[in-house]
Amino acid sequence: MLIKLSGGTVYDPANGIDGRVMDLFIRDQHLVEPPADNEPIDQHYPLEGKVVMAGAIDLHTHIGGGKVNIARTLLPEQQPAYSRPRAGRMRSGSGGIAPSTHATGYRYAEMGYTTCFEPALLPVNARQAHMEMADTPLLDTGGYALLGNDEFLLQLIAEGAEQQTINDYVAWTLRASQCIGVKVVNPGGISAFKFNQRALDVDDVHPHYPISPRDILRTLSRALHQLGVPHPLHVHASNLGVPGNYLSTLATMDAAEGLPIHLTHIQFHSYGTEGDRKFSSCAAQIAEAVNRQANISIDVGQIMFGQTVTVSGDTMRQYANHGHAHPRKWLCMDIECEAGCGVVPFRYRDRNFVNALQWAIGLELFLLVDDPWRVFLTTDHPNGAPFTSYPHLIRLLMDRSFRNDMLARIHPDAGASSHLASLDREYSLNEIAIMTRAAPARLLGMTDYGHLAPGAVADLVVYHREGNPEQMFERPMLVFKRGEVVAREGAICASVNGSTHVVRPEYDQGIETRLAEWFARYHSMSLRNFGISDDEMADGIGSPVVIHPCASTSHP
């Protein structure tokens, strides 16, 4: 099958193409060089006046694993708000803020997203996360394994284990859980909460182990660097949501000691204590630190007004916030001496000072961080808002007058205490393409994704060029998944299943001896059942793995 896309205006920042009218060719599942003149074209799409980009990549969205299922269970009364009827072979679904898997895949694809990453995959829950993502059609997926609150690692660090041993354990975890990266959530804090500690700042000492979050951050960021894992340590920093936490965030950046580190949903970590309400924006301080340190990347975790549900591994902070639950019910879970999970439904209100300022802080961060290659468009779905609000968010970034109209509607004191009105920046289509395609692919080491050069996987999106970016990004004209048209005019027309993206750094298998002993003594399952094989991924779970290379290993 040879497909020609002619005359579209292409935005492909990974290849330095910023709005060039050009032809693209797809052969089977990949983009290819223009064929010989005499080769017949099977399908031809004339795209004059249309915008063409690679399929969008969401590098931080909670779409798989136990906590999403818990959210679905906790909120049966919220689910009917969005019901998706069955249509032919397309499955039915429900749920606007915690959608069912099929509804998630369809809706993402309808918006031009072709790859999504679950950022908090508990290794012990990896099978479920991969199963849910396998049942999320049209998307390639992957996960970041949660480490840094597992008692095994904390004990290793506390004992002063060699970095090499840590590296082996990290690499083993990536292999066992079939993940592409490693995330740490409130380093040490989830574990500390199990010991009844209610707060743990970057340099506080854990109640059981003589180590601090800083030690965990340093050890893990170093491990990933030395293992050559492309995606840097993905960090949900200490003190989420606490006024004054920007200092913890700056300390977290510092703890990486210059090695690459990704700070996620940083909006929730950019709060000061100024003003009458002791709650203020520190977006400027955070953005300045990001601009200054090239080793740091962030995603924003923008909030949007309305009902949503917060799902997080950070039981310490979720428990602390349970009083804000709306509706008033919530759930926390301590999980397998490995991590935890807290689910607290939430309604952000534009007339509430704190919520309104959170909204402004997120936008300030987008606009104040200079390099679009290091700031990513997320709502931390569903924590800040459901992913379905992305087109609206894109409009907020691209259209200053629209942004100011929205600003005028929020709590007046919040508007007044934000710099947002003075920020003139408007994102260009090229910058949107960077932050939603090229940059995430690069940060994850997915060389064949997120761009449109010959050889790339043919995940691509054709947009109508509308005056209103929200309409443009809400209903693309065409979405191709691996060379097949799966959505037209914002409606799914075909369903294909995705793959699971992983990295697989090498490690000394000697670590498994130690792990086997640990599992036998303390765990409730055996080591051999912990890890997931490639065959199990492909045949049992239903999502074959795509392995991305790691950089050549550097040794300490």
Partner 1 sequence: MWTTEPSLNQKHLTCPFCGLACDDLSITPGDRGIESLDPKCDKAKQGFRLALQAVSRGPRSNGAPVSMEVALQQSVQLLKSARAPLFAGLATDVNGMRATLELADRCGGVLDHLNGDAMFRNIRVVQDNGWVACTLSEARNRADLILIIGTQCFDRFPRFVDRVLLPRESLFSPKAGRHLVMLGPWQNNRLPATLKDYAPITLHAHPSQWADVAGMLRARLGNRPVDSGRLGGQLAEGVEELARLLREAKYSVITWSAAELTFPHAELVIERWAALARDLNQTTRSSVLPLAGNQGDITSNQVCTWQTGYPLRTSLQYGYPVHDSRLFRYQDLIENNTADLLIWISSLDPEAKPPACDLPTIVFGHPGMELGQEVEVFLPVGVPGVDHTGHGYRSDTVCTLPLGQLIERGLPSAATLLRTLLDRLGD
Partner 2 sequence: MSPFVPQRLASMRPRQIAAITLHQGNRTLPAGELFDVTGSPGGRIVIQSDSELLDNIGMGMADGELMVEGQAGGYLGRGMSGGFLQVAGATGIFAGSAMSGGRILIEGNAGDLLGGAAAGERQGMRGGFLHVRGSAGDRAGDRQRRGIIVVEGNAGDYAASRMVAGTLIILGQAGHQCGLDMRRGSLILNSKPKSLPATFNVSGGHQLTFLTLLNQYLESHSAPWAFPGNSRIRRWVGDLACDGRGEILIQA
Q: What value does the CA radius of gyration of the chain take, rounded to a whole number of Å?
A: 22
- 95 touches partner 1 by CB under 8 A: yes
Interacting positions 385-414 with partner 2 (CB under 8 A): none
Interacting positions 69-88 with partner 2 (CB under 8 A): 74-78
Instruction: Give the phi and the psi of residue 63 in degrees, each rounded to 5.
Output: -120, 5
Among the candidate windows 45-53, 204-212, 262-270, 327-335, which touches partner 2 by CB under 8 A?
327-335
Query: Site for partner 1 (CB under 8 A): which residue of 55, 93, 230, 362?
Result: 93
Element housing 184 (H / E): strand 181-185
Query: Site for partner 1 (CB under 8 A): which residue of 50, 62, 91, 183?
Result: 91
Contact yes or no for 441/449 (Cβ under 8 A): yes
Q: Which does 122 bind (CB under 5 to 8 A by kind): partner 2, partner 1, none?
A: partner 1
Q: What is the spatial distance between Cα 449 and Cα 430, in angstroms, rounded to a whole number?
A: 17
The number of residues that bind partner 1 (CB under 8 A) is: 71
Q: Which is nearer to partner 2, 325 or 397 (CB)?
A: 325
Give residue 345's Cα distance to chain centre: 20
Measured from the Cβ of residue 257, the count of other Cβ atoms closer than 10 Å reads 13
- CA 123 to each of CA 72, 502, 528: distance values in angstroms, whole numbers, following the listed order: 21, 14, 13
Q: Which is nearer to partner 2, 96 or 469 (CB)?
A: 96
Q: What is the spatial distance between Cα 443 and Cα 550, in angstroms, rounded to a whole number?
A: 12
Q: Is 245 helix (H, G, I), strand (E, B) or coil?
A: coil
Q: What is the spatial distance between Cα 541 and Cα 537, in angstroms, rounded to a whole number?
A: 5
Q: Minimal distance in Å, beta carbon 81 to partner 1?
A: 11
- Cα torsion 45, 49, 55, 56 to 10°: value is -160
Query: Site for partner 1 (CB under 8 A): which residue of 26, 54, 57, 101?
Result: 101
Q: Minimal distance in Å, beta carbon 80 to partner 2?
A: 10
Residues 6+ apart with CB under 8 A from 259: 221, 222, 225, 232, 233, 295
Q: Which does 552 bind (CB under 5 to 8 A by kind): partner 1, partner 2, none?
A: none
Q: Which does 191 bind (CB under 5 to 8 A by kind): partner 2, partner 1, none?
A: none
Q: What is the spatial distance between Cα 187 and Cα 149, in angstroms, rounded to a whole number?
A: 6
- 328 touches partner 2 by CB under 8 A: yes
Among the candidate windows 27-35, 126-134, 244-252, 433-441, which touches partner 1 by CB under 8 A?
126-134
Among the candidate windows 34-42, 235-243, 251-259, 522-530, which touches partner 1 by CB under 8 A?
522-530
Interacting positions 265-294 with partner 2 (CB under 8 A): none
Q: Minimal distance in Å, beta carbon 76 to partner 2?
A: 4
Of 508, 281, 523, nearest to 416 by C-alpha is 281
Handedness of CA 13, 15, 16, 21 (dihedral sign): negative
- 307 touches partner 1 by CB under 8 A: no
Q: Output the six-digit token pair for 495.
A: 């369903």
Q: What is the spatial distance between Cα 432 and Cα 429, in angstroms, rounded to a whole number?
A: 5
| Per-residue binder mask for partner 1 (CB under 8 A), 32-71, x = binder | ----------------------------------x-xxx-
Query: Site for partner 2 (CB under 8 A): which residue of 49, 258, 327, 549?
Result: 327
Among the candidate windows 123-131, 217-225, 280-288, 377-385, which touches partner 1 by CB under 8 A?
123-131
For partner 2, the binding residues (CB under 8 A) are: 74-78, 327-329
